[in-house]
Each structure stands twice: as C-alpha cells, then as structure tokens.
Amino acid sequence: MRVVDHTHDPQARSWIDSANSSAAEFPPQNLPLGVFQAGGLPRIGVAIGDRVICLGTLAAAGLFSDPLGVAIHDHVDLTGLMSLAVEARTQLRRQLFELVTNPQSRLATDIALQQAALHRLADVQMLKPVEVGDYTDFYASLYHATNVGSMFRPDNPLLPNWKHLPIGYHGRASSLVVSGTEIRRPHGQLPSAQEGAAPTFGPCRQLDYELEVGAYIALGNRLGEPISLGAAEDYLFGITLVNDWSARDMQRWEYQPLGPFLAKSFATSVSPWVVTMEALAPFRAPAFERAADDPAPLPYLQSPGNAESGGIQLQLEVSLLTDAMRQQGLGPQRLSLGSFGSMYWTLAQMLTHHTSNGCNMQPGDLIASGTVSGPTRQSRGCLLELTWDGECGKPVPGTQRTPLKFPTGEERLFLAAGDEVVIRGWCEHPQRRTIHLGECRGRVI
Ligand code: MN
C-alpha cells in the first residue's frame, strides 16, 4: 500500500490559483496524469486546477533525473511511467507536488519555462493516456451480477463459481476510445421475440452503458510468473473511469456459451486522466465485507492487507444529456449515484486471479471492474438494471420494464440517438481534500 504523506496534506495550496478553489477537481493533492495535444505531437501532462503542465517540457529543461527523465522524454504516452517501480512513481508525485506548491520552485519562478510548459485545459485536446495492449473486463459487483442473473435465470441468479473467483472476459483493446468520442450504434444479430424464430440483422435496439472503474497495470509480469495478492498493489498504476457500452439485445442472443463478444467490442470509453494509486492513499478502505454464510476466498485471493485496505472510497455518478435537454438548455440529468465500495472483489484480487495461471500482464494493460452497482435502486450502474422492476435479485413477477422519465417529457428504457452519457467520479473524506477523476462522456450517433 502507498503511504499517506505531505503530498496529501489538505491544507496544501498551489501558486496556480485555480487549483485552490473548493470546486477544483484537480487540486495539488490529486496530480492526475494524462496525454494531451496542443497543436503538435502528443505530450504527457499533469492536471492542476484549470491547467495542464507538459512533463516533456520539464524533462527537456532537466527537471527530472533518470529513470523519470527517460520515461517521460522517450515516450508520447504513459507507457514509460507505467514501466517504473513504485519508488520512482512516488518520487514523481513528490516532485510534481513540490513544483506546483512551492512558490520558489523552478516552475514557479522561471517565466519562460512556465510559458512553454503550462497550457489551459480548455485549449488542449485530451487523448488516450496509453495505447492499451490488452483489456480485460470483470463482473465484480455482487448486486449487478445478482440483478442481471435474476433477469435471465430467476431461479438461479448467481452461478456457483461467482463468490469463489472474480469472473471476467478478455475485452477488445482496439476499440477503446477516449472520452468525447462519438459512439456509433452497432448493428448485429438480434433475437426474435418469438421463441424458436430466426434472428434478424440490424441496428441494436437496446443500447446501454455500463458504469465501471478501470485500473492501468504497471510493471507487468513474466509469462508463467503469477503476481501474488501481497504484491499486486505495486502492479497497479492508477484508476480511470470506464463506460463499457453494451448492446443488450445482441448480448442476450450471443453470450452463451462463451460470454460477451460483439455486444461489447464495438466501443469502450475511458476518461483521459489517470489518478495514481499514490494519490488514492488516503481513500483506501476495507474490502467488501462478505456475508457470514459466504465462502471465504481461496488462500491465493486472501491477505490481511487486502482485507484492511484493498477497497477504494470512490463516489460514482452517471448523468444523461439528451438532444431535447440540450435544446432546452437543461443540464445532464442524474441517473444514478453509487460507490466503488460496494464491489465484492478488489482490483488487487482481480489482477492476482488474472495472473494466477501465469498469464502475463504488460505495462499499460487495462482491467475494468465490471458494472458498479450497489444495493439500492439509485446506485444501479446501467439502464438494464435501472429500468428493471425488482429489488436486488428479486424480480417483481408479471411486470415489464419501467422507463426512466425526464423533465423534458422524454422516457428511456435504453439509449436513443443523440443521448450523451456522462460518468463522473470523486474521492471524498472529511479530513481530506476531495480529488476527482474528471469525466468520461460519449454521445450516441
Ligand atoms: Mn462490463
């Protein structure tokens, strides 16, 4: 686990004024990393207030010693930084914190350097933080798995393996897109409403989003050498918001016997900023408390450290902005508010299980949590659950789906053309400065 240190001091302020406002998503305690473009080549940056600082410009000015200097200078994305050991990543955070909080720092006092390195966030384009090699999606929420299972198998919502291992499937890295990218409604095979009739091919009619949290992998492991649960935290670089767009009609028809395929692989959105595990240190929380009659995880998925602080205190919100809301000047309407603390499996358990057969991970690989749903209706992380009539695993017999209703008079069971889904996330704690993950948005075309 990363330590809480002076970089988490809630009183710390920056000489960049916008970082000190109470509404600031990127105060000096956050320091998320990303990749941006301001006309020229992609550059690695850190967000502070309403600015982004180009790390490449700082590296060229000799502000970082190796291995940080090389990891920044020789890469156009975060792969270099994701290849570094925890000590170097902690060093980067401390150095960036010093640069933005000390009014005597080189960046604060060298006006030419400042002009070259500082950009307004509003003026830059954010890109994917890393070219992901492999992407895996899990299914780690007990509430989500129970709700969805009870729609398809009312008598047997959770399969016997679910509480013994984090269920996952290999996703598609090539269709990961950064927040803001438009999402084209997929075509595919759609099951017939009539039992036994042939499917049709056409545009998906039940397009959905899935609220998820992703983790980028650091270091990686050699093929054949599993990562133990005790070591797994060192292999997590940071977290990000993920929208796993899902075509529910296609999914229902294709998912057996091998799991999700084209219903998921047409697009997955990621937020541009990566909040590092170092920044999350004050927000670590106990892992999900299993019910007394739940099975204990097998020894390789159990450790005191994971039980004590394998969780993350992270609030997650989904909003919807339709074309009509846009035309009427309304803001996005909240669909759900939930917590990452409701997840049954921790990110470290997912990574440990993933590599337990010797499968190798590489720096920049992405694992996603699966839909984050909580026990209450308002904490359901997708429309499939939000418009379903049931209470955590107990369907209401004889009922249909109930549409969500909006102030524009519009109703939704699933997403319509022009709908924009906006996911936001933040970590708050009474004794700490709130830090945000930014947003992950995508509009359906
Ligand atoms: Mn998913």
> How many beta carbons lie within 10 A of that of residue 51, not counting itself?
23
| pLDDT score, position 389 | 83
In sign, the C-alpha dihedral spanning 216, 232, 220, 298 is negative
124 C-alpha to center of ligand 1: Å? Answer: 30
419 C-alpha to center of ligand 1: Å? Answer: 19
| pLDDT score, position 193 | 85
List per-residue pLDDT tens for the chain, 445 residues long: 799 999 999 999 999 999 999 999 999 999 999 999 998 899 999 999 999 999 999 999 999 999 999 999 989 999 999 999 999 999 999 999 999 999 999 999 999 999 999 999 999 999 999 999 999 999 999 999 999 999 888 888 899 999 999 999 999 999 999 999 999 999 999 999 888 899 999 999 999 999 999 999 999 999 999 999 999 999 999 999 999 999 999 999 999 899 999 999 999 999 999 999 999 999 999 999 999 999 999 999 999 999 999 999 999 999 999 999 999 999 999 999 999 999 999 999 999 999 999 999 999 999 999 999 999 999 999 999 999 988 777 778 777 889 999 999 999 999 999 999 999 999 999 999 999 999 999 999 9
Task: Please list the alpha-helical segments (H only) found in 63-169.
Answer: 68-73, 79-82, 86-101, 106-109, 111-117, 142-152
Number of helical H runs and strand E runs in the chain:
12, 27
Residue position matching structure tokens 């993950």? 437
212 C-alpha to center of ligand 1: Å? Answer: 7
Residue position matching structure tokens 């209401």? 396
Neighbours of ion ligand 1 (CB under 5 A): 137, 210, 244
Q: How many whole angstroms separate alpha carbon 6 and alpha carbon 14? A: 14
Q: Which CATH class is domain 135-443?
A: alpha beta
Q: Which of 75, 144, 353, 354 is catalytic?
A: 144
Q: Same topology for domains 6-127 and 135-443, yes or no?
A: no
| pLDDT score, position 153 | 81
Partner residues linked to 411 by β-bridges:
405
Residue 389 makes CB contacts below 8 A (sequence gap 6+) with 395, 396, 399, 400, 401, 402
Q: Which option is the CATH number for 6-127: 3.30.230.70, 3.10.150.10, 2.30.30.230, 2.60.40.1930?
A: 2.30.30.230
444 C-alpha to center of ligand 1: Å? Answer: 18
Residue spans per domain, the chain: 6-127, 135-443
Q: Which two tokens stand for residue 81?
A: 């930084």
393 C-alpha to center of ligand 1: Å? Answer: 18
The burial of 156, by beta-carbon neighbours within 10 Å (0-12 exposed, 13-18 middle, 19 or more buried), is given as exposed
- 144 belongs to the catalytic site: yes
Q: How many whole angstroms separate alpha carbon 18 and alpha carbon 24? A: 7
| pLDDT score, position 362 | 98
346 C-alpha to center of ligand 1: Å? Answer: 16
Rg (CA), the chain: 22
